[in-house]
């Protein structure tokens, strides 16, 4: 009969601890924080604001859109009035996202959320959710909205509308995530503000 060697149990425990430590390390890497560089700009002609956040391998730009502009877009495509009023009731931003890395990048809007001035977190209504709502209303139009998810290679970009359910001129923070080569990053886009109902008369 072979007897276990002394120290075998201890060695197994050490190996187990090392495996746990490695797993924790990988978990931390999969949710790496990235400090965004944020710049804001006001359009002199319209008075509307745009913001650009540049993070690790990923950039996102949000551009204020007036409700009347949003209404005009969907009315021109014969949307029912109820659907036009619904999306125009959101804070709608023109959105441009880019892969600024040299690697494969993936994103999923379903993983993003926004935080209002009271600290409450809310998910973003995705393109898939809007399209499902529109189909029930007899609408088959599918353009304008930022796609839910995508895989980008070096230099790839995407654009579309992002919708935030908040009152006019509300301030909020957008928390967004993306993945580069299976490493997940997370960042916060602070200082964002919904457009007013109308521009002030000059």
Domain-embedded: residue 202 = no
Output the six-digit token pair for 148. 């839910």
> Which pLDDT band holds residue 28 (cuts at 50, 70, 90)?
very low
**Domain with 70 in it:** 33-193
pLDDT tens readout for residues 139-166? 999 999 999 999 999 999 999 999 999 9
| pTM tops 0.85 | no
pLDDT (tens digit per residue) in 42-94: 998 889 999 999 999 999 999 999 999 999 999 999 999 999 999 999 999 99
Is residue 93 a contact partner of residue 166, using CB atoms and an 8 Å limit? no
Residue 4 falls inside a structural domain = no
Q: Measuring CA to CA, how many Å separate 23 from each of 18, 55, 165, 177, 185?
A: 9, 25, 38, 21, 17
Q: Who wins on pLDDT, 183 or 31? A: 183
Determine the Cα–Cα distance for residues 62 and 43; give it in Å rounded to an integer.
13
Query: Is the pLDDT at 18 greater than 70, yes or no?
Result: no
**Is 88 within 8 Å of 71 (Cβ atoms)?**
yes
CB 37 within 8 A of CB 56: no
CATH number, domain containing residue 150 = 2.60.40
The C-alpha atoms of residue 162 and residue 142 are separated, in whole angstroms, by 14
Separation CA 160–CA 183 (nearest Å) = 25
pLDDT given at position 141: 93
In a domain, 49, yes or no: yes
- Determine the pLDDT at residue 34: 60
Count of domains for the chain: 1
Does any domain span residue 165? yes
Beta-sheet pairing, 91-99 with 157-164: antiparallel
Residue 2 lies in a domain: no
Residue linked to tokens 């980008």: 152
What's the rounded mean pLDDT across residues 182-194?
95
Among 178, 166, 167, smallest CA distance to 121 is for 166
Q: Are 57 and 100 in contact (CB under 8 A)?
A: yes
- Provide the 3-class DSSP secondary structure of residue 22: helix
Residues 6+ apart with CB under 8 A from 136: none
Domain assignment present for 139: yes
At 113, the pLDDT band (50, 70, 90 cuts) reads very high
Q: How long a stretch of residues is the chain?
A: 202
Confidence of residue 2 (pLDDT cuts 50, 70, 90): very low
HSE (side-chain half, CA atoms, 13 Å) at 143: 6
Q: Is there a domain that residue 177 lies in? A: yes
Residue 86 lies in a domain: yes
Give the pLDDT score at 31: 53
């Amino acid at each position: 009969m072979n007897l276990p060697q002394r120290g075998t149990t201890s060695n197994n425990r050490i190996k187990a601890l090392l495996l746990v430590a490695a797993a924790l390390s990988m978990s931390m890497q999969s949710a790496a924080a990235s400090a965004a560089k944020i710049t804001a700009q006001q359009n002199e002609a319209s008075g509307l604001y745009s913001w650009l956040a540049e993070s690790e391998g990923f950039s996102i730009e949000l551009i204020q859109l007036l409700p009347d502009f949003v209404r005009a877009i969907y009315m021109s495509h014969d949307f029912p009035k109820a659907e036009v009023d619904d999306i125009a009731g959101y804070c709608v931003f023109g959105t441009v996202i880019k892969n600024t890395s040299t690697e494969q990048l993936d994103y999923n809007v379903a993983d993003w959320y926004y935080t209002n001035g009271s600290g409450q977190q809310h998910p973003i209504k995705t393109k898939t959710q809007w399209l499902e709502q529109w189909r029930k209303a007899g609408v088959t139009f599918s353009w304008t909205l930022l796609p839910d998810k995508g895989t980008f290679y070096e230099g790839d970009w995407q654009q579309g509308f992002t919708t935030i359910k908040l009152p006019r001129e509300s301030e909020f923070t957008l928390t967004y995530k993306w993945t580069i080569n299976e490493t997940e990053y997370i960042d916060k886009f602070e200082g964002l503000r919904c457009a007013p109902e109308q521009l002030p008369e000059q």
